[in-house]
Chains A and B, each alone.
Chain A
Amino acid sequence: MNLSELIMARRSIRKCNALPVEQELVIELLRDAARLQPALDAGAWRVVYAGTPESSKQLVDYMLAQITQSKLGKLIPGKLLDVMKRRFTEIPAHVIVLSAQGTDRLTSDRNFAAVCGMMQSFQLLGWERGLGMIWDTESIIQNESFFKGIGIREDERFVGILHLGYFDKAPRGRKRTPAERKWTIWEGSTI
């Protein structure tokens, strides 16, 4: 598969099979992704990894803390909550990515953007090895108990969780708008 085919073939994968994911492979792919991002300094990002059934369960508890602790959440039937939890605990590995905010908006944005670029490479490198991922930024998980649980530091910005695993079936792609329709040629100042 060449690079163009790889980029167009990649899908977000929400349902994984039970095959375990080796932590060494995740680290290898993260290193490869970092290598494709030379402008990204090691100090500008950090990964927190959950790759065991216990840590997955722990992570999902943090993710759903907001819901389960809310008044409304107390009314959610236990069974439904279990279904919600299982959706994630059945995924074998979770890569939480944080970027450094630095001292100003520009540094924070630069780091965030470069880290996202690295994560896209990581997704593509994973796809080459049969790994599927879903990039999770659900607003419902982003709250104090979640951030405290994963141990985010004061100067860090949450970029996302990549839930990943091997999969049996990839969904069909959704067509993109041709770039021509989102393209303008700047003709110089009109004033």
Chain B
Amino acid sequence: MKLSDLAEGLNKPIHFEERPVSKELMLELLNIAVWAPNDGLREPWRFIYVDGQNSGILNRLQEPAPAYLLIVMQAEHDSHKQEEDFAAVSCLIQNFRLLAHERSLGVRWTLNEWTYDRKHAEAFMLQDDERIAAVLEVGHIAVHADVTSEKALQEPQLRFELL
């Protein structure tokens, strides 16, 4: 199977089954996802798993999901390094998202205003030099009517210009 073959499935809206997601499966996928490019092998990420049944404040801050994965990144003082790290973490998430999809796990990649709030960060015991780069809502994909969104059928528009 070629990577581009995943596109059709990724274009469908994600609905979750209620059953939990095994932590072992998440770790298995994360261990492959960490092969993301990252400058100087800083590996500027760590993961907080939150069970959807006991999600605390996420209950009102996020959409319901069987499981959440908080992707926490090291916030370097150097703003340039911080951009590099944010990019590296985003590559890791993309790997995870693609791998999950192959195993019929849906991942909604979210970033919401509350993640900038230090009060909320403290609730998840983040260190002062850490920030939330994304909150992933994860669950088994419920079988649903085979609707392909209009967007999926369209040729993606590119803004491609020559130097």
Please list the residues of chain A having a beta carbon within 8 angstroms of any beta carbon in chain B: 2-4, 6-8, 10, 12, 27, 30-32, 34-36, 38-39, 42-43, 45-51, 55, 58-59, 94, 96, 105-106, 109-110, 112-114, 116-121, 123-125, 128, 135, 137, 139, 142, 150-151, 159-160, 173-174, 176-180, 182-190
Contacts and interface: CB of A to CB of B under 8 A. Distances in A.
B98 A3 contact: yes
Contact of A106 (B10, B32, B113): B113
Given A55-B162, A120-B95, A176 B23 contact: no
A139 B158 CA distance: 27
B54 A177 contact: no
A47 B94 contact: no
Interface string B118-142: 0000011100000001100000000
Given A3-B3, A185-B23, 10 more contacts: A3-B98, A4-B99, A27-B160, A31-B158, A32-B3, A49-B160, A113-B111, A137-B84, A182-B47, A183-B46
A188 B56 contact: yes
Interface residues of B, number: 67
Contacts of B35: 7-8, 10, 173, 176
B90 A117 contact: yes
A179 B47 contact: yes
A160 B2 CA distance: 26
A121 B94 contact: yes
B6 interface: yes
Contacts of A39: 109
A30 B73 CA distance: 27
B94 A125 contact: no
A184 B87 CA distance: 22
Report the 10 A-B pairs with minimum CB-CB distance, sorted nearest first. Answer: A116-B90, A117-B94, A42-B157, A179-B30, A120-B91, A35-B7, A34-B156, A182-B46, A46-B159, A120-B94
A113 B96 CA distance: 14
Nearest to A9: B35
